[in-house]
A and B are shown apart, each in its own frame.
Chain A
Amino acid sequence: ETGVTQSPTHLIKTRGQQVTLRCSSQSGHNTVSWYQQALGQGPQFIFQYYREEENGRGNFPPRFSGLQFPNYSSELNVNALELDDSALYLCASSLDITGVNGYTFGSGTRLTVV
């Protein structure tokens, strides 16, 4: 079975620009979560998508938004980029909404905002 794949792996953007990050969930997984990991810190929960609807959100402003598609893949969009948005963005999928059997994480997209 394939794991979680994220694209691109690295990205450099200018402050004020917009960015879209993509995630393909593991085969058979219907729930996708996004996390932000700043350098030297643990990942922080951004939001979760289930059945194409946002199903929970962490402490992130509205300029962080997302989508989930019928094939369960997902996008993370960030508008009006700030320097502090520089981080590793991780996508994680789970078999169901509870995540009881654990989440499968991708290797992430490293975003640098200059």
Chain B
Amino acid sequence: DAKTTQPTSMDCAEGRAANLPCNHSTISGNEYVYWYRQIHSQGPQYIIHGLKNNETNEMASLIITEDRKSSTLILPHATLRDTAVYYCIVTLIQGAQKLVFGQGTRLTINP
């Protein structure tokens, strides 16, 4: 699996958009980008995933660059409940999909 690089920590004001970057310069053509988050004392929560095109769901938007070497997760109107560790994961869609979690970005939403 390709490796990802994320900032260790970020801060964002409540109500503002939180933009979390992820670098995955060695991604291969058939690997997807997934985002999960982990709120303290809970298991990780799936947010969104994409292959090439930008994606949006009720939680977030995912912007993938044209060369697919980086992506940005956007939380459009961050709330205090969005404070969590956010993991960017690159993986193949295949049997025994193994999620390789890095250190993630610790996002703190400030009032």
Residues of chain A having any CB pair with chain B under 8 Å: 4, 33, 35, 41-45, 48, 50, 55-56, 58, 90, 92, 94, 97-108
Contacts and interface: CB of A to CB of B under 8 A. Distances in A.
A102 B97 CA distance: 10
* Interface of B (DSSP majority class): loop
Contacts of B98: 33, 45, 48, 56, 58
B95 A55 contact: yes
Contacts, number: 66
Query: Which of the four size classes fits the interface of chain B?
Result: 20 to 34
A105 B44 contact: yes
Interface of B: 32, 34, 36, 41-46, 49, 87, 93-104
Given A55-B95, A55-B96, A105 B45 contact: yes
B107 to A, nearest CB: 15
Contacts of A99: 93, 97, 99
A4 B43 CA distance: 10
Contacts of A106: 43
Max chain A C-beta neighbours (<10 A), residue from B34, B44, B104: B44
Given A55-B95, A107-B41, A42 B103 contact: yes
Given A105-B44, A107-B43, A98 B95 contact: yes
A102 B93 contact: no
Contact of A103 (B42, B46, B93): B46
21 contacts: A4-B43, A33-B99, A42-B104, A48-B96, A50-B95, A50-B96, A55-B95, A90-B43, A92-B43, A92-B44, A94-B97, A100-B32, A100-B49, A100-B93, A100-B97, A102-B34, A102-B46, A103-B99, A105-B44, A107-B42, A108-B43
